[in-house]
Structure formats: structure tokens, C-alpha cells
Structure 1
Amino acid sequence: MVSLEAKSAYMAPLLESPMPRFFVDILYDEPGLQPPKLQLADSNSLACNVLCFVRDADELPCRELYQQLQGRKPNKESEWIYNDYLVFSLVCAVKKFTLPSEWIRQLLALRASQDEEKKRLNATLGNILAGNLNNREDYHQVSLVYQMLTGEQVPDETRLNKMFNFLWRHPFPFFTSPFLNLISLKALELAFNRKGLLNPEQFFAAEQFTERFLHRTRSLASLVVTVLVLGLVLSLAIATVRYPTNGWVKLGLLLTSAFGVDVLASFSGLRDKLRDMATKALRRAFGYSPPTSSSTKSEK
């Protein structure tokens, strides 16, 4: 099955870059995935290797690599500390293998920012280090994916529902950060699985079918009603010519005028009312029930 993120026009160019592509393969457990050759000067290479250590529960080489990194003395101008993939992977490793956390906490302090996304991401990573996986102000999708990678499951239905509702209501991309977008897509899938719902692929297919069904039933009802009304108008016209003094014909003409039906111009008032009635009848006949009143706009 083609993964959800691969279907996005936004994600296609992003996934041409090695680091996001590798991160996605880790999140979706791509079989046979191997990290690139470890290069200490390359933050993406570090991130890929640490993620594989976490995935494979390979503690010894991860501990040795982390000890080497602890010898670094970064400052705010150190570019590598702003690599979200690397910092996230290190947080996962520190928690999974119970490594010393002071050094990674210092990195998070150096990453301090006034940008709301970056600020909340840093706060989320800090709370994960502290063992607080359900802080109300965090990006719960980051915590959720962390739990998946490390096997530390601390479910919280309230936080899960809040995250799910936020992401589902907002257009994609959800954030300016590619890292947060990738994590959010995976978190949506995890939420679907946890709730026992359709997976995102199936849900989107169902949504597309529903949209086509609603459109086609309305079009069919419109056609049926138009034919019936035109047939009525034509019948009255013929009857008026052939039976001008007939009482039933006169009554028909009177009712037609009352509903605003005009042979040459608009009979939209009656037609629209009949079309709405016919549409509802068709949908009920096919077993369709609108989920909420707020969805009626989309049905039209």
C-alpha cells in the first residue's frame, strides 16, 4: 500500500532529500533499512545512525557514540544543534538507554527561540526527557512517535483525541517545519490504529466516495425533478390549448401560478424544493445518513 505521505504533492519534493526520506523509512519500519556510513561531522549521518540504534535496541554502540558527542561544546551558532531529526533521535536514545541527560538538556537550552513552533517543539522534547509525555501544551504527535520508537507506551486518550482533532481539521501542511509534518502524519496513522478506525488511506477513499455519492444523488434528483416539472408545464400547455374551459385545467393553471412556475422562465422555487425532497429520498433509499448537521454544506 502506498503510504499517505507519498501521496502528498507537498511531500514529494521534500522526500527527495536523504534525511527526510530516511526518517520516513524509520517511522514506517522499512525492511532492510541501513543507515549511511557514520560521519561525526555530518548531523544527518548522526541522526540516521542514532535512530537505527534506537529502533534495533542496540545500546552499546549508541552509548559509545553519545559519549563522543558529549565532548562537544556547542554554542548558539553551532548549526548542528538546530537539526530537529538529530536532537529528536538523541532524546529518544537518552530515554531508551538511560543515558546521561544533562548534555542534551543544554542543547535544548541553546535552541531557545521566539518562534512558536520551535519553542513548543523544544518544550515537548524537554518534557519527554523529564518523563512527562502528556503535557497539555506539547506537540503530542512528537511524544506519540517517541513512544512508538522507544516502546514506552503511556497512552492518554484525552491528549490523543485533542491531537487527532487538531490535525484532522487543519489543512496540510500543518506546520512550516518538515520534521513536524512528517511526525504528524505518522501520529495520525497511530491514532487511527489505536482508535480501531479505518487507516488514513481507507478513510480518504471513503471520503472521496461519499463526496461523489452526494454529488451524484443530487444531480440525479435534479434531473428527475426537472423532467417532471417540464413534463407538468408541457402537459398544462397542451391541456390549455385543447381544453381551455375545463375546470381541472383552470385549477392547474391557478396552482402553477401560485408556485411561481413560468413556462418560459423560472420555475426554480418549486423545482428546488422538489429537488431537495427527492435528494433526501434517494439518499435514504440508498441507506445514507448524514453524520451531523454541520456536514450539510458539503453535501450540497
Structure 2
Amino acid sequence: MVSLEAKSAYMAPLLESPMPHFFVGILYDQPDLQPPRLQLADSNSLACNVLHFVRHAEAVPCRELYQQLQGRKPNKESEWIYNDYLVFSLVCAVKKFALPSEWVRQLLSLRASHDEERQKLNATLRNILAGNLNNREDYHQVSLVYQVLTGEQVPDETRLNKMFKFLWRQPFPFFTSPFLNLISLKALELAFNSKGMLNPEQFFAAEQFTERFLLRTRRIAAFVVTVPVLALVVSLGVATVRYPENGWVKLALLLTSAFGVDVLGAFSGLRDKLRGIATGALRRALGYSPPSTGASRVEE
């Protein structure tokens, strides 16, 4: 059964087509999951079938399919080589079943792109083919999920921590690529499990709580700062009606009339400063410690 996080609001926008649905089923070990009918002209069909072969260690049909694919002579205009699910599945198959890797390396070289995400993904896949699973500049979540799918589970604690810290501080979705987002969600789950931490669904619930907490403390602080000022204004109004001849009341009215615009402008700036101070004090009083790096998801 696909885990609950796969059905959450965070996952839902990524599952609008069959390929991501099947990929999630593979990642979360959905029982009785069957790939669509194999169609060599359909890159998603190819990806699903190769992933299924890898997940269930079906070496013979995977090798036969790979031999058929090796007959293709792609170029930079071949659309199917830009299917991240397919290329990732082929990398997994090559490593899992010790297939010839030169053809897949050619695909990766043809996938040259100015897009930073695609460049980094290509570099990660090349390093996986080379057996380098812990390159410092790679998307470690990709190599981590590769290890899970192929059974080559040798996660590096340092790289795992670095990946976790990076994703923890990023707003969701982490990337523009749905493939990388799905990979990252699974990698987060693996990191949580390895550390005995919250599962991803609890993680996102905590993130939502943090956003609400920051927003509400800011509003409370604004209320605390604004109420005394409003009370002062109301008091001045009441005093004007009840004690129109009082010298102090006349002086206050005179100053307000003469410098009203400047006073309001100065008050606005002072109010913002006081609100910031009050917000920080309230959060500290409630035990909130802001991250040492990275921006909050709620505007401070």
C-alpha cells in the first residue's frame, strides 16, 4: 500500500499523470503493482517496465529489452532521451544487472542542457554509472533512491545529513522537476527512518504548524503594540469632549494638528520596530529558536 505521504496535498500535484503514479508505487513498494503494456515507442511505458524489472530483479527480460533499445541511434532532438524517469531506470538496470553502460553514457552526453537541475542530475547519473555514489556536488537523494531500488544500500552518513539539511530548509516543491521532487520525498523518508525521526507526513505537518505559529505570533505582537496607541487616541478624543478647556488637552490637540502627518509617519516606523521587538520576545518566551541559516518561509 502506498504510504500516506504519497497521498498528501504535497504529493498530489505531482501525480497528475500515470508515470509519476507508477514511480511512486515503485518507490513505496506498492503490492501487486504491474507496469503498463510495453510499447517501445512510448518512453513512459519503457520506464515503467524497466523499473519493474529492476525492483523485482527480473534480469532476463530486462537484458532482452535493453538489447533492443541499444539498437537506437538517438540524437539531441530525440525527445525520449529527456525523460528523466526512463534514463534513471536505465542507469539502475545497467548497474543492477551489469549491462553494457556505453549506450546509456551516450544518452547522458546527448542530454546536455543549460538548466542547472538537468546538468546536476546528469552528473549524478554519470557518477552512479561510475560507482561513485557520494560525490559532493551530486543530488545525493538520487543516488540514495538508486541504492534502495537496486539493493545496493550503503548510505554515507555525511552525505545523508547534508542532503537532509538542504531539503529541510527548502520550500516545497524543492525543484521544478517532478521527478526530483518525488525522489527527494522518498529520500527524506529514508533519512527520517535512518535517524528515528518524524516521517515525511509528520514533517510536513510540523512545517505547516511552524508557518502558522510564526504568522500568529507576528499578529499577536502587532495587536499588543497597536492597542496601547489606539487607547491613547481614544483617550485623547474622550478628553477633548469632556475637558475641552484643560490646558494639557489643548496642548495635545495643538501638537497633533500642527505635526499630525509627521507624527503619524514617525509612529508608523516606531510601530514596525516595536512590533519586531515584541514578535521576537514573544517567540523566545514560547521557546521558539529560529534556524541559524536560511530564510523563514513566513515573512518576518
Q: Deviations over 1:172-215 (max 9, x none)?
A: 44444332333233223333333433233322322332333344
Gaps of 5+ in 2: none
The letter of the residue matching 1:3 is E
Tell me the C-alpha RMSD between the 2 structures. 4.0
Task: Give 2:150's aligned residue.
Answer: 150
* Secondary structure of the corresponding residue to residue 7 of structure 1: coil
Deviation of 1:51 after TM superposition, in Å, equals 0.6
1:100-249 pair list within 5 angstroms: 100-109=100-109, 111-116=110-115, 117-223=117-223
Number of the residue aligned with 1:74: 73
Q: Is the 8 A contact 1:74 1:107 kept in 2?
A: no
Amino acid of the residue matched to residue 107 of structure 1? L
**Normalized against structure 2, the TM-score is what?**
0.72
Aligned residues of 2:36 and 2:49 also touching (Cα < 8 A): yes
Deviates further, 21-30 or 266-275: 266-275
Aligned to 1:21: 21
TM-score by length of 1: 0.72
For the 8 Å contact 1:229–1:271, the answer to whether it is kept is: no
| Secondary structure of the corresponding residue to residue 213 of structure 2 | helix
Q: Secondary structure at the match of 2:148?
A: helix
Partner residue, 1:41:
41
Higher mean Cα deviation, 220-229 or 209-218? Answer: 220-229
CA contact (8 A) 1:5 1:185 kept: no
SS of the equivalent of 1:44 reads helix
Q: CA deviation at 1:269?
A: 8.4
- The 3-state SS of whatever aligns with 1:3 is helix
Q: Distance in 1 between matches of 2:106 and 2:28?
A: 30
Task: Kindly state the Cα deviation for residue 130 of structure 1 after the two structures are TM-superposed.
Answer: 1.4
**Counterpart of 1:99?**
99
Q: Deviations over 1:39-75 (max 9, x none)?
A: 23332222111111111122232233333333x1413
Give the structure 2 partner of residue 31 of structure 1: 31
Conserved 8 A contact 2:134-2:159: yes
Structure 1 runs not aligned, ≥5 long: none
* Cα 1:291/1:34, change in 2 over 3 Å: same
Residue identity matched to 2:9? K
For 2:284 and 2:106, locate their aligned partners in 1 and report how far apart those are by CA, in whole Å: 62
Structure 2 counterpart of 1:7: 9
Specify the SS of the correspondent of 2:33: coil
In the TM superposition, residue 292 of structure 1 has moved relative to its aligned partner by 4.4
Please tell me whether the aligned partners of residues 169 and 294 of structure 2 are also in contact (alpha carbons under 8 angstroms).
no
Distance in 1 (alpha carbons) for counterparts of 2:147 and 2:296: 38
Identity of matched residues, %: 73
Q: How does 1:48-63 map to 2 (within 5 A)?
A: 48-63=48-63
Partner Cα distance (1:119, 1:26) in 2: 25
When Rg is computed on C-alpha atoms for both structures, the one with the higher figure is: 1
Instruction: Find the aligned partners of 2:191 and 2:8 in 1 and give their Cα distance.
Output: 19
Q: Structure 1 residues 147 and 271, CA, compared in 2 at 3 Å: closer, same or farther? A: same
In 2: Cα distance, 1:285 partner to 1:235 partner: 31
Residues 205-233 of structure 1: CA distance to partner in whole angstroms, max 9, x if unpaired?
Answer: 22332333344344445545655666678
1:243-262 equivalent positions in 2, closer than 5 A? none
What letter matches 1:145 in structure 2?
A: V
CA apart distance, 1:146: 0.5
